[in-house]
């Protein structure tokens, strides 16, 4: 089976959708699926590449459009990718679009020109009204186009039940199934507890208002007033709020407590997961953040906002859920975990066990099964 995967951002970018596209494609190879990824070319990356056994074809977009995926970048990618997608779809059995726009639109056009079925994976920001990101508001003006993309797809896949419910408000006629995000689960039985630093808190995510890091900083200032043990925090991620968050930490007198290094390599991030004793995800909205699953797989207790798809992960893992944007309740939850080592240890054990249910191998097999179902329903002429 040959699959064309389309996504406007891809490795080495490390967002949830980018990671999912790589993990699904690379692991599907074990099931006999050959995937070609069509994506945007950034910087000096090669046009034709191979990443973990997956062929990657990058189409150039204007340099001024590079960086975070805003409307300009996505439009530029759609225009540049269409000719390549037409040819590559003709060589594939089906198309897997990651994001409704622009990838889903490209897949819809390819279906009309090449007759190939397609499925669309929804990470969340591409569902009109779901995300609080500024550019996502543009989706509200494209609802008719979004509906057309979804209705033309053989399958539409949401990463959480919450996202599915929201998408059905946009289009009640859409056929939407759920396959969650995945994670690389440790299976060697080790816990890494000997490396944990008491009182060390970790946050991982894009540095944007939606992720709630500023709320966490205000909560941490409250924690510091009441917690008597060693206290430190690491806020990892890239994004436009980097300097603003550093300034806010200084304003709150937290410069000696909080480190905000920006982007870290996978190896450096793994070290942070191993050193931390608590993971916090204070998002204001989030369909199903990959970082939460990574923290669970690393055996960390989790405190997170009760928004989007987060309760579907954290609630099952025995984590603590708090209202989004409430710094006092967030501070209380952090203190509850840091002040009770026995409770933290039990939460960590449950996190690790629950993460096994989200193992990337199992997630990839579910997608491969879906591919086969689609092809059986729409046999190639």
* pLDDT tens sequence across 314-327: 988 889 999 999 99
Question: How much is the pLDDT for 73?
Answer: 77
- All CATH 3.40.50.2000 domain ranges of the chain, comma separated, are 2-182+359-377, 193-358
CATH code for residues 193-358: 3.40.50.2000
Question: How much is the pLDDT for 69?
Answer: 56
Q: Render pLDDT for 348-358 as a digit per residue (tens, 0 to 9).
A: 999 999 999 89
Fold topology of 2-182+359-377: Rossmann fold (3.40.50)
Question: How much is the pLDDT for 70?
Answer: 66
What is the 3-state secondary structure of the chain?
CEEEEECCCCCCCCCHHHHHHHHHHHHHHHHCCEEEEEEEECCCCCCEEEECCEEEEEEECCHHHCCCCCHHHHHHHHHHHHHHHHHHHHHCCEEEEECHHHHHHHHHHHHHHHCCCEEEEECCCCCCCCCCCHHHHHHHHHHHHHHHHHHHCCEEEECCHHHHHHHHHHCCCCCEEECCCCECCCCCCCCCHHHCCCCEEEEECCCCHHHCHHHHHHHHHHHHHHCCCCCEEEEECCCCCHHHHHHHHHHCCCCCCEEEEECCCHHHHHHHHHHCCEEEECCCCCCCCHHHHHHHHCCCCEEEECCCCHHHHHCCCCCEEECCCCHHHHHHHHHHHHCCHHHHHHHHHHHHHHHHHHEHHHHHHHHHHHHHHHHHHCCCC
Q: The whole model's pTM is what?
A: 0.85
pLDDT < 50: residue spans in the chain: 65-68, 134-135, 187-190
Question: How much is the pLDDT for 352?
Answer: 93
Question: How much is the pLDDT for 188?
Answer: 43
Question: How much is the pLDDT for 132?
Answer: 56
């Amino acid at each position: 089976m040959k699959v064309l995967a389309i996504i406007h951002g891809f490795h080495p970018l490390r967002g949830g959708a980018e990671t999912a596209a790589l993990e699904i494609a690379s692991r599907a190879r074990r099931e006999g699926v050959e995937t070609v990824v069509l994506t945007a070319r950034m910087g000096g990356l090669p046009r034709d590449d191979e990443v973990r056994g997956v062929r990657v074809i990058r189409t150039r977009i204007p340099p001024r459009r590079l960086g975070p995926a805003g409307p300009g970048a996505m439009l530029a990618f759609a225009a540049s990718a269409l000719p390549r997608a037409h040819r590559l779809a003709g060589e594939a059995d089906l198309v897997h679009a990651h994001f409704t726009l622009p990838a889903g639109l490209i897949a819809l056009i390819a279906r009309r020109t090449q007759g190939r079925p397609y499925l669309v994976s929804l990470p969340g920001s591409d569902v009109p009204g779901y995300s609080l990101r500024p550019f996502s508001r543009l989706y509200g003006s494209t609802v008719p186009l979004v509906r057309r993309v979804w209705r033309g797809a053989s399958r539409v896949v949401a990463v959480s039940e919450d996202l599915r419910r929201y998408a059905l408000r946009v289009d009640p006629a859409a056929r939407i199934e759920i396959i969650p995000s995945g994670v690389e689960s440790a299976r060697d039985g080790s816990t890494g507890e000997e490396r944990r630093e008491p009182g060390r808190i970790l946050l991982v995510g894009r540095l944007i208002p939606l992720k709630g890091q500023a709320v966490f900083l205000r909560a941490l200032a409250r924690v510091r007033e009441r917690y008597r043990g060693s206290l430190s925090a690491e806020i990892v991620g890239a994004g436009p709020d980097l300097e603003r968050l550093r300034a806010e930490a200084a304003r709150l007198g937290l410069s000696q407590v909080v480190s905000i290094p920006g982007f870290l390599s996978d190896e450096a991030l793994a070290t942070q997961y191993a050193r931390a004793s608590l993971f916090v995800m204070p998002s204001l909205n989030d369909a199903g953040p990959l970082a939460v699953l990574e923290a669970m797989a690393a055996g960390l207790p989790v405190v997170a906002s009760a928004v989007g798809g987060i309760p579907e992960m954290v609630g099952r893992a025995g984590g603590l859920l708090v209202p989004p944007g409430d710094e006092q309740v967030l501070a209380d939850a952090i203190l509850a975990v840091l002040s009770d080592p026995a409770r933290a240890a039990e939460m960590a054990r449950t996190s690790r066990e629950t993460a096994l249910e989200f193992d990337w191998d199992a997630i990839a097999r579910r997608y491969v099964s879906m591919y086969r179902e689609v092809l059986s329903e729409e046999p190639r002429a």
